Amino acid sequence: MNPLCSMSIKEAAKLISAHELKPSELVEVHLDRINSTDDKLNSFVTILSESALSSSLIAEKEIMDGNYKGPLHGIPIGLKDLYDTAGVATAVGSKIYRDRVPQTDATVVSMLKQAGAIVIGKLQMHEFALGATSINPHDGPSRNPWDTERITGGSSGGSASSVSAGQCMASLGTDTGGSIRIPSALCGIVGLKPTFGRVSRNGVFPLSWTMDTVGPMTRTVEDAALMLNAIVSFDPSDPGSALHETEDFTTKIGLELDGLTIGVPQEYFYETTSTEVQTALANAEKVFESLGAQIIPISLPVLEHSLAISGTIMLTEAASVHENNLKDRPFDIGEDVRLRLTQGSLYSALDYLKSQRGRHEFNNQVTKTMETVDILLAPTVGIGAPRIDDKTIVLHGVEYPALALMPRLTRPHNICGLPTISIPCGFTSSGLPIGMQLAGRAFEDSVVIQTAYAYENATDWAKHSPDI
Sign of CA dihedral 213, 219, 220, 224: negative
Read off the DSSP letter of residue 128: G
CA torsion 104-110-114-115 (nearest 10°) is -150
The percent of residues in the chain predicted with pLDDT above 90, rounded, is: 98
**pLDDT at residue number 245:** 85
| 147-168 average pLDDT score | 98
SS3 of 201-268: the string is: CCCECCCCCCCCEEEEEECCHHHHHHHHHHHECCCCCCCCCCCCCCCCCCCCCCCCCCCCEEEEECCC
Contact 299, 268 (CB under 8 A): no
375-397 pLDDT, tens digit each? 999 999 999 999 999 999 999 99
> What are the structural domains, with CATH classification, of the chain?
3-463 (3.90.1300.10)
| 237-266 average pLDDT score | 96
pTM across the whole model: 0.98
| 270-277 average pLDDT score | 94
| Cα–Cα distances in angstroms (integers) from residue 105 to residues 190, 352, 431, in the given order | 25, 32, 39
- DSSP reduced 3-state for 135: strand
> Residue 403 pLDDT more than 90?
no
| 232-242 average pLDDT score | 96
| 48-62 average pLDDT score | 98
> Residue 427 pLDDT more than 90?
yes
- Closest by CA to 178, choosing from 162, 193, 195, 196, is 193
**pLDDT at residue number 271:** 87
| 116-132 average pLDDT score | 98
| 29-34 average pLDDT score | 98
Alpha-carbon span 402 to 277, nearest angstrom = 16
- DSSP reduced 3-state for 350: helix
| 43-54 average pLDDT score | 98
**pLDDT at residue number 126:** 98
Alpha-carbon span 93 to 378, nearest angstrom = 30
Residues labelled as active-site residues: 80, 155, 179
Phi, psi dihedrals of residue 412, rounded to the nearest 5°: -55, -35
**pLDDT at residue number 246:** 87
| pLDDT tier, 134 (very low <50, low <70, confident <90, very high otherwise) | very high
Contact 314, 359 (CB under 8 A): no
| pLDDT tier, 464 (very low <50, low <70, confident <90, very high otherwise) | very high
End-to-end CA distance of the chain: 8
The percent of residues in the chain predicted with pLDDT above 70, rounded, is: 100
Rounded to the nearest integer, the mean pLDDT of the chain is: 97
314-335 pLDDT, tens digit each? 999 999 999 999 999 999 999 9
| pLDDT tier, 226 (very low <50, low <70, confident <90, very high otherwise) | very high
326-376 pLDDT, tens digit each? 999 999 999 999 999 999 999 999 999 999 999 999 999 999 999 999 999
Alpha carbon of residue 122 to chain centroid: 15
